[in-house]
Amino acid sequence: MAKKIILDCDPGHDDAIALMLAYANPEIDLVAVTTVAGNQTLTKVTNNARSIATLIGMKDVPIAAGCDRPLVNEINVADEIHGDSGIDGTELPKPEVPLQDIHAVDLIIETIMNSPEKTITLVPTGALTNIAMAARREPKIVDRVKEVVLMGGGYLESNYSAAAEFNIFVDPEAARVVFNAGWKLTMVGLDVTHKALATPDVLEEMEKINTVPSIKVKELMTFFQKMYKESQDFDYPPVHDPVTVAYLIDPSVMEVVKAPIDIELHGELTRGMTVVDFNHIVASDCVTYVGVSLDKQKFWDLVYDALRKIG
Ligand SMILES: [Ca+2]
């Protein structure tokens, strides 16, 4: 049985690859795509999601737009990484796939409540605003979802402040809600995703696959490399978001450790930090897991396979 997932995203170069992987891999049944403000404004990331869907011929998966700003923070986009459109570096088709006439938070709730218990996995790859809103609006979803596998945070690595990763930094209050909801949650943080680098061999493989989507992805990764070099001095860009989906397809892609995780809200220097208690000092038990290692080859092989299937 394919795993049913809702991808809650803010495309976003790496979100786009997560979407392609989720759509094309037969182990995953992508039941909805929802968008949230983050990498760019809600309008832009939603258009980008629909353009990617158009590019890969994804017409059978509902797309709904969600929250246009974080719960408390002002909106804070990542144009230094993703450009003015949120997905600069290539020409994408005009969005022809329709937008559902329902708010993302309601689509998330409806999808979970109308599916058998423990069959829907939430895969957030942006700020956690929609997911926190859904958990507060309909608390019954917490026990009904199978699990949450999210991209965000880091226990040693950070990328937006000395202590925080971007997705969590954008909406720390939402992250606090989601990490403490009580559902099984796996954090795929920077400690893992900084190993998912689009190195030259990756770009060569995309060129070899030589389809319209694979060449677009190569162009996106080339732009991503330039921006990551300029803003964070990475030689090759980390492709964060699809690690979540790859882990759901094949758990051997990433090793996880069970550990309590909470979000710092009040630290003068550490707001948005994901505090991972590896020594179980604050709690002996928990339902949270953290990714600690990545099988880079297995990860990229899944991405290549998806691009070949999309054709
Ligand atoms: Ca993202």
Residue 162's φ and ψ, nearest 5 degrees, are -65, -15
Can you give the pTM of this predicted structure?
Answer: 0.98
pLDDT in tens, 13-61: 999 999 999 999 999 999 999 999 999 999 999 999 999 999 999 999 9
Residue keyed to tokens 């996995």: 121
Q: In the predicted model, is pLDDT for residue 284 greater than 90?
A: no
Q: What's the gap in Å between 276 CA and the centre of ligand 1?
A: 21
Q: What torsion do the CA atoms of 130, 131, 132, 134 make, to the nearest 10 degrees?
A: 80
Residue 62's φ and ψ, nearest 5 degrees, are -65, 140
Q: 3-state class of 7 per DSSP?
A: strand
> Is-catalytic flag, 240?
yes
Q: What's the gap in Å between 39 CA and the centre of ligand 1?
A: 7
User: How high is the pLDDT of residue 8?
Assistant: 99
pLDDT in tens, 55-112: 999 999 999 999 999 999 999 899 999 999 999 999 999 999 999 999 999 999 999 9
| Catalytic residue selected from 13, 82, 103, 240 | 240
pLDDT in tens, 118-145: 999 999 999 999 999 999 999 999 999 9
pLDDT in tens, 201-255: 999 999 999 999 999 999 999 999 999 999 999 999 999 999 999 999 999 999 9
Cα–Cα nearest to 53, from 88, 82, 22 = 22
Q: What's the gap in Å between 255 CA and the centre of ligand 1?
A: 21
User: How high is the pLDDT of residue 43?
Assistant: 98
Q: What's the gap in Å between 167 CA and the centre of ligand 1?
A: 7
Q: What's the gap in Å between 14 CA and the centre of ligand 1?
A: 6
Q: What's the gap in Å between 284 CA and the centre of ligand 1?
A: 32
Q: Which residues contact 7 (CB under 8 A, 6 or more apart)?
A: 18, 19, 22, 30, 32, 33, 34, 123, 125, 245
Q: Which residues contact 200 (CB under 8 A, 6 or more apart)?
A: 236
> Phi-psi category of 154—alpha, beta or left, where left has phi over 0 and alpha has psi -120 to 50?
left
Average pLDDT on 270-284 reads 95
pLDDT in tens, 146-192: 999 999 999 999 999 999 999 999 999 999 999 999 999 999 999 99
